[in-house]
Amino acid sequence: MDTPRDCGLLIKQIHDELRKNANNALRHQNLTIAQLDALVELDRAPDRQRSLKELEQILRVAQSTAAGIIARLEQKGFAEGFGDAEDRRVKLVRLTPAGIECVRTALHFRAEAEEKLLSGLTETERTIFYTLLKKVRDSL
């Protein structure tokens, strides 16, 4: 029988391993996890575009960080920024065709990583695990 352990330590160990694997998988696409998160959020948006302010709030990062992430995605050709026709103060960002393809490939790798993560669990255990993770997250 396992000795009781600190839940925080186990969560950190799982996070660290997932992060390492994700970074290795994304390296060949020249992406970071933060950049992929931004691409995924753009992909989920209507017309595959959002304001920079929306991305800042969704990603829970500072304005300067969101701007930096988008600037690097623009340099790589995965996103493009433009001004709102109705309010020139608002910067909008949309996925390019290359960005859409990049998201598809990255999400494929993400799905494989999640399957590996959950491979030791039955379908019932997966459902319970996911429910418990959401419950813990929501309690913070």
Instruction: Read off the pLDDT of residues 63-121 as tens digits, 9 standing for 90 and up.
Output: 999 999 999 999 999 999 999 888 888 899 999 999 999 999 888 888 888 898 899 99
User: Per-residue pLDDT tens for 46-76?
Assistant: 999 999 999 999 999 999 999 999 999 999 9
Closest residue by Cα to residue 56 from 47, 44, 68, 45: 68
Residue 134: pLDDT band with limits 50, 70, 90: very high
Asked if 108 and 100 count as a contact pair (C-beta separation under 8 A), the reply is no
**Interatomic CA distance for residues 77 and 44, integer angstroms:** 18
The predicted pLDDT at position 4 comes to 60
Give the pLDDT confidence score for residue 3 in this predicted structure. 59
Would you tell me how many other CB atoms lie within 10 Å of the CB of residue 55?
25
20 has a pLDDT exceeding 90: no
pLDDT band at 1 (very low <50, low <70, confident <90, very high): very low
Q: In whole angstroms, how far apart are CA 39 and each of 42, 98, 126?
A: 5, 11, 27
Domains of the chain with CATH codes: 7-138 (1.10.10.10)
Query: How is residue 47 annotated by DSSP?
Result: G
Residue type, 30: N
- Rounded mean pLDDT of the chain? 90
